[in-house]
């Protein structure tokens, strides 16, 4: 019987497949897969709890390739360990249209890819969320959840600002089942990292409450010992793996030349000789292929033992957990929301939509135990900590509210990870103006099609005294520009409740709430018998006769439009008002419905305390607009609205002017 292949030979299979795929595509990053092949081989053959035959097993260890540019490392691992989807033909079609091997890993596009990575820092922040989700769920289901999260990160990941937010969160919350494997190769695209960086990363991580160690990234025994040593830690761990980028490419290894482009035929041939790899492109010898397939099955016994524990759960507990993992809503949810809205109709209140959001969230949380809320240090302002929530602490994960600190980017990235994990519906919150800090994770959430919810309060110049630094004017347009993302700007408590109903039921689209600081009247006073917010836009006030003017508004400006309508009707100018709580959902409706809602009134005016961008799709390029074309100002919010001409009187004046030219 022949000896089992060495770690180095198994790692060389990764190196060969990676350089062959990049060479065939004439595009890609061979350096990281070749440099980190030894580390990845140790992890997948000696440490990681997974079963390649059941890639969605919920208690598997998670592997996040944060250095997504090195995607061929992951694709090679999936192929070698037995992924049915990741055939050799997929590797040969690396970076080609229609393949399962895109340039950077994409969740939902390629099976076994945990999260979409590539924008540096995104993966490690997702890993923090994955590790946090495991701890929260383990506190509730200790016999079901007990797994670890490993993230392979690059120099670039650790240079990005989000890395500090992510590691500070993980250190504070003692996420001891989280391990970062840092590809410490000292090379970035421009050259040696000393050109731009001199941070002692090990010291930085230790200062943030992590264990951190150095290891030779090409010494299999040392790598295995370092990873196994993390198992008893009460902290997250960074393992700084000192590697040679492009290991095995004799003329380019250790330089930026191997970072982001194909090696070239001569260097590939030289690397084959250097590595002792005597096989043609994309060929793996039988002994290595067999050893890798055995590694892919290594976790089957653990999975089967887990299935027995899962089946032993109380029937009700197991069924509810299955519901949570599928993202389904409980049977009583619809009735609870209907009862809540009935109370609003019976007792209309003037309320800021952030307060209306708090009331609706209380009801939602009461029905959805999987909901985990949080705030980036604006809890009293965001109103996302309800009376039926318990705060999560480093010593007690059995809660449902996270204090993220002033870390909006890290919060949004971690929330993506929590949603990716499954079993948790995460909600974050901050001011709308700080959505800029959250934008990269929001874009990735939309790209992945995951259910995350962000509550952004203080949504306009209605912030008032804090002034233009805190008054968002371009943010609604910027967020609406992201495909597959719903931005809700409700006008009252009813629309806010309806928006929550839509958001929690949107399994493949993230949602944003833009909520007011100032009080607003309840405009919806009669139950329409359906969720009108789900249509994105609808007529909230009909004209008295054939309409001459159609007013379109969102959020706080809907009440201004309704006030203007009364004055225009009195002046003999029949006017209708359309509320547009979700521009994105309105765009999803049929052409017939959109045409009906937009209507045929010759005068169309949009009203929103933000810039005009986007509204021409509804009112036309020749339509009217009452809103912002500059930054705001500091002062009491009513005076700020007056200064910028966002008033019912201004709407009336513009409508009269425009209607006179068409009469």
516 in Cβ contact with 509 (< 8 Å)? no
Distance CA 167, CA 235 (A): 11
Written as six digits, the tokens of 264 are 């070239």
Q: Which residues, at least 6 apart from 595, have a Cβ–Cβ distance to it below 8 Å?
A: none
Q: Tell me if residue 372 falls in helix, strand or coil.
A: strand
Residue 608: closest CA among 565, 574, 641: 641
Handedness of CA 389, 392, 395, 397 (dihedral sign): positive
Helix (H) or strand (E) holding 38: helix 37-42
Q: Indicate the angle between helix axes 493-505 and 353-367, nearest 10 degrees.
A: 40
Written as six digits, the tokens of 403 are 């204090």
Distance CA 11, CA 300 (A): 23
Written as six digits, the tokens of 319 are 């069924």
Residue 453: closest CA among 500, 390, 397, 489: 500
**List 106, 408, 501, 608, catalytic entry:** 408
Distance CA 58, CA 66 (A): 20
580 in Cβ contact with 586 (< 8 Å)? yes
Instruction: Check if 642 is active-site.
Output: no
H-type helices in 209-352, by residue range? 220-228, 265-275, 286-296, 300-311, 315-326, 333-346
How is residue 392 annotated by DSSP?
Answer: -
508 in Cβ contact with 448 (< 8 Å)? no
Alpha carbon distances (Å) from 513 to 66, 450, 548? 29, 16, 32
DSSP 606-636: EEESS--TTTHHHH-TTSEEEE-SS----S-
Residue 117: closest CA among 584, 441, 342: 441
Burial annotation 466-502 (CB, 10 A radius, 16+ → b, else e)? eebebbbbebbbbbbebeebbbbbbbbbbbbbbbbbb
Enzyme catalytic residues? 408
């Amino acid at each position: 019987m022949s000896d089992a292949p060495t770690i180095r030979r198994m790692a060389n299979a990764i190196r060969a497949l990676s350089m062959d795929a990049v060479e065939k595509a004439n595009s890609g990053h061979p350096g990281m897969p070749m440099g980190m092949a030894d580390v990845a081989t140790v992890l997948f053959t000696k440490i990681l709890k997974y079963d390649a035959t059941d890639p969605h097993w919920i208690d598997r260890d998670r592997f996040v390739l944060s250095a997504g540019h090195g995607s061929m490392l992951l694709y090679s691992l999936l192929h070698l360990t037995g992924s049915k989807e990741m055939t050799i033909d997929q590797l040969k079609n690396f970076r080609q249209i229609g393949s399962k091997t895109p340039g950077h890993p994409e969740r939902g596009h390629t099976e076994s890819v945990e999260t979409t990575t590539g924008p540096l820092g995104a993966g490690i922040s997702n890993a923090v969320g994955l590790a946090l989700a495991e701890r929260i769920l383990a506190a509730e289901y200790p016999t079901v959840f007990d797994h670890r999260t490993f993230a392979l990160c690059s120099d670039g990941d650790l240079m990005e600002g989000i890395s500090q937010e992510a590691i500070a969160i993980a250190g504070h919350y003692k996420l001891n089942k989280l391990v970062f494997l840092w590809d410490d190769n000292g090379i970035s695209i421009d050259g040696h990292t000393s050109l731009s960086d001199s941070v002692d990363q090990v010291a930085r991580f230790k200062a943030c409450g992590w264990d951190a160690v150095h290891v030779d990234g090409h010494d299999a025994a040392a790598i295995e010992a370092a990873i196994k040593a993390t198992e008893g830690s009460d902290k997250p761990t960074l393992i700084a793996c000192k590697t040679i980028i492009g290991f095995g490419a004799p003329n380019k290894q250790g330089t930026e030349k191997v970072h982001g482009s194909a090696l070239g035929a001569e260097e590939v041939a030289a690397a084959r000789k250097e590595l002792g790899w005597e096989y043609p492109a994309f060929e793996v010898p039988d002994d290595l292929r067999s050893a890798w397939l055995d590694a892919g099955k290594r976790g089957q016994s653990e999975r089967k033992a887990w299935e027995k524990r899962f089946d032993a759960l109380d029937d009700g507990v197991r069924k509810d957990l299955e519901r949570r993992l599928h993202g389904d809503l409980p049977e009583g949810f619809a009735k609870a929301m209907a009862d809540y809205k009935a109370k609003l109709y019976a007792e209309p209140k003037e309320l800021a939509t952030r307060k209306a959001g708090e009331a609706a969230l209380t009801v939602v949380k009461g029905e959805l135990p999987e909901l985990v809320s949080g705030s980036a240090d604006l809890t009293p302002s965001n109103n996302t900590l309800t009376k039926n929530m318990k705060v999560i602490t480093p010593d007690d994960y059995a809660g449902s509210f996270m204090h993220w600190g002033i870390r909006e980017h890290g919060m949004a990235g971690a929330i993506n990870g929590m949603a990716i994990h499954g079993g948790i519906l995460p909600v974050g919150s901050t001011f709308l103006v700080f959505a800029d800090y959250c934008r990269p994770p929001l874009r990735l959430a939309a790209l992945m099609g995951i259910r995350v919810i962000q509550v952004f309060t203080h949504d306009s110049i209605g912030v008032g005294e804090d002034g233009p630094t805190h008054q968002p004017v371009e943010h609604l347009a910027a967020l609406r520009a992201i495909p597959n993302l719903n931005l809700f700007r409700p006008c009252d408590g009813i629309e806010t409740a309806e928006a929550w109903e839509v958001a929690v039921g949107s399994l493949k689209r993230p949602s944003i709430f833009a909520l007011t600081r100032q009080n607003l009247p309840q405009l919806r006073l009669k139950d329409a018998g359906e969720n009108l917010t789900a249509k994105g836009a609808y007529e909230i006030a009909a004209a008295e006769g054939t309409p001459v003017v159609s007013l379109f508004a969102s959020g706080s400006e809907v009440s201004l439009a309704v006030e203007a309508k009364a004055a225009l009707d009195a002046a003999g100018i029949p006017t209708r008002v359309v509320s547009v709580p979700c521009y994105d959902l309105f765009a999803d409706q049929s052409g017939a419905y959109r045409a009906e809602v937009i209507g045929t009134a010759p005068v169309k005016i949009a009203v929103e305390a933000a810039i005009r961008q986007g509204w021409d799709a509804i009112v036309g390029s020749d339509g009217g607009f009452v809103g912002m074309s500059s930054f705001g100002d500091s002062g009491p919010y009513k005076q700020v609205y007056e200064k910028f001409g966002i008033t019912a009187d201004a709407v009336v004046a513009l409508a009269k002017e425009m209607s006179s030219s068409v009469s």
